[in-house]
């Protein structure tokens, strides 16, 4: 971060490292931080320290201005790997990552036509109260002409979240099906009481190689059809480092056969990104299935050894690339979340107890 430039209009204080130090100092001086319990102080300070961690990789000069497009979501991805390797518990780590992902939203939320839906979505993974503390420290840790105006925006953001009832907890949907359908089609009324017409369950696995997914399947999925992408990959002779389009096509074709018959199904794959999970989850929902997401995680000091002990280990370089896009699932994606191993449950959510 040292030496990474910033737009002087918004950051007259200097580079990203200077700003980060100022944000950490501002955070340490806030009453909300000083009076918080230890676990919350840890999350807030980690978020302050890492909120702009991806600016160096995202910073470009456009039209004579320094910009960092996408640094918030990219920062959440980088922070996840850093904090996982440091051994921060899943609950705290994912809360920090959510704060980093959304840390710019309280500056401009009121100008968006979907502001209510935006806060409802954010509340499913982020403590909006903690987010207001982070964004306040972010503003106090810089030199800019609109600081007072932006601080007012943050205050209004917190007041609106309080009014909606999601400042300290996720927006309370009427039931699991209403939640899933709302995030599939956000034009729905979030107060809608959905009739759950699902007919059978599809289980979707998610997690890095060696995290315990296949072990969970062996212990909990007896008698169910299992679509295992690793097995299909070997069947087709396709290496994990090669394009996977053919593997996915074959897997989806086999899954459709079971879905048409309304048969319970297990989809065993890494599914590390939301976009990958959305494809199979959307297919399952189209066939009237209830979706259960099983997320497995291993501690950083155990994962390399677990991977080496697999019958078909993933090359270390491929594993590192997987970590760069690693997004654990959240409650906006499925009816049910099950956490395995070192994972979960997330802070402040309403998860299924670990398996």
Question: Do 226 and 322 lie in a common domain?
Answer: yes
Q: Would you say residue 81 lies in a domain?
A: yes
Residues 64 and 120 in one domain: yes
Per-chain mean pLDDT for the chain:
93
Cβ atoms of residues 328 and 346 within 8 Å: no
Distances, alpha carbon 50 to alpha carbons 23, 31, 138, 308, in Å? 10, 21, 11, 31
Residue 2: what pLDDT? 85
Quick check: is 7 in a domain? no
Residue 227 forms part of a structural domain: yes
Reported pTM? 0.92
Q: Do 212 and 158 share a structural domain? A: no
Answer for the pair 273, 204: CB distance below 8 angstroms, yes or no.
Answer: no
Q: What pLDDT is recorded for position 138?
A: 97
pLDDT number for residue 348? 56
pLDDT per residue as tens digits for the range 287-306:
999 999 999 999 999 999 99
Give domain status of residue 61, yes or no. yes
Q: Has residue 25 got a pLDDT over 80? A: yes
* ∠ Cα 110 12 82 (to 5°): 75
Could you tell me if residue 256 is inside a domain?
yes
Residue 291 lies in a domain: yes
Residues 281 and 160 in one domain: no
Model confidence at 355: pLDDT above 50:
no
Shared domain for 147 and 210, answered yes or no, is: no
CATH code of the domain containing 218: 3.40.50.300
**149 and 210 belong to one structural domain:** no
d(CA 208, CA 200): 27
Task: Indicate if 213 and 126 belong to the same structural domain.
Answer: no
The band of 186, judged by pLDDT with boundaries at 50, 70 and 90, is confident
Domain total for the chain? 2
Residues 157, 225, single domain; the answer is no
Helix, strand, or coil here: 203?
strand
Of 110, 136, 164, which residue constitutes the final position of a domain?
164
Are residues 85 and 129 located together in one domain of the fold?
Answer: yes
> Quick one: 25 and 154 in the same domain?
yes
What is the model's pLDDT at position 165?
Answer: 96
Residues 97-153: pLDDT tens digits?
999 999 999 998 988 888 999 999 999 999 999 999 999 999 999 999 899 999 999
Helices (H), ranges, the chain? 16-29, 31-34, 38-50, 55-58, 71-85, 90-102, 105-108, 115-123, 128-140, 147-164, 176-184, 213-220, 229-236, 245-260, 274-286, 303-309, 316-323
Range of the domain at 220: 200-341
Of residues 349 and 139, more confidence is placed in 139
Judged against a pLDDT cut of 50, whether residue 199 lies above it is answered with yes
Q: Decide which of 183 and 353 is more confident.
A: 183
- Establish if 62 belongs to a structural domain: yes
SS3 category, 124: coil
pLDDT interval class at 273 (50, 70, 90): very high
- How does residue 351 score in pLDDT terms, banded at 50, 70 and 90? very low
Closest CA to 135 of 127, 7, 116: 127
Q: Are residues 23 and 131 in the same domain?
A: yes
Q: Are residues 213 and 291 in the same domain?
A: yes
Asked, for residue 272, whether it belongs to a domain, the answer is yes
Domain boundary among 141, 164, 187: 164
The confidence band for 321, taking pLDDT boundaries of 50, 70 and 90, is very high
Confidence (pLDDT) at 277: 96
């Amino acid at each position: 971060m040292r030496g990474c430039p910033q737009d002087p209009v918004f950051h007259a204080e200097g580079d990203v490292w200077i700003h980060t130090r100022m944000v950490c100092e501002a955070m340490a001086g806030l009453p909300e931080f000083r009076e918080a319990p230890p676990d919350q102080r840890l999350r807030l300070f980690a978020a302050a320290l890492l909120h702009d961690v991806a600016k160096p990789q995202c910073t470009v000069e456009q039209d004579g201005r320094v910009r960092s497009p996408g640094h918030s979501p990219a920062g959440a991805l980088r922070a996840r790997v850093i904090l996982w390797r440091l051994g921060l518990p899943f609950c705290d780590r994912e809360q920090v990552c959510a704060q980093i992902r959304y840390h710019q939203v309280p500056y401009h939320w009121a100008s968006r036509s979907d502001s209510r839906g935006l806060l409802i979505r954010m509340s499913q993974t982020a403590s909006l109260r903690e987010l207001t503390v982070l964004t306040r420290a972010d503003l106090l840790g810089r030199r800019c002409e609109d600081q007072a105006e932006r601080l007012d925006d943050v205050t209004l953001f917190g007041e609106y979240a309080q009014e909606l009832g999601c400042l300290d907890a996720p927006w309370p949907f009427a039931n699991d099906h209403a939640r899933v359908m709302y995030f599939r089609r956000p034009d729905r009324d979030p107060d809608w009481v959905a009739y759950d017409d699902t007919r059978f369950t599809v289980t979707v696995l998610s997690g890095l190689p060696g995290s315990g997914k296949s072990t969970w399947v062996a212990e909990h999925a007896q008698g169910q059809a299992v679509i295992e992408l690793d097995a299909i990959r070997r069947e087709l002779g396709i290496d994990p480092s090669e394009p996977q389009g053919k593997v996915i096509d074959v897997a989806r074709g086999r899954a459709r056969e079971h879905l048409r018959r309304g048969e319970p199904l297990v989809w065993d794959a890494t599914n590390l990104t939301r976009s990958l999970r959305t494809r199979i989850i959307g297919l399952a929902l189209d066939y009237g299935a209830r979706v259960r997401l099983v997320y497995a995680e291993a501690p950083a000091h155990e994962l390399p050894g677990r991977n080496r002990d697999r019958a078909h280990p993933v090359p270390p370089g491929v594993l590192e690339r997987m970590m760069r896009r690693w997004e654990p699932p959240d409650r906006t994606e499925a009816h049910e979340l099950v956490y395995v191993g070192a994972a979960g449950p997330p802070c402040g959510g309403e998860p299924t107890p670990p398996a």
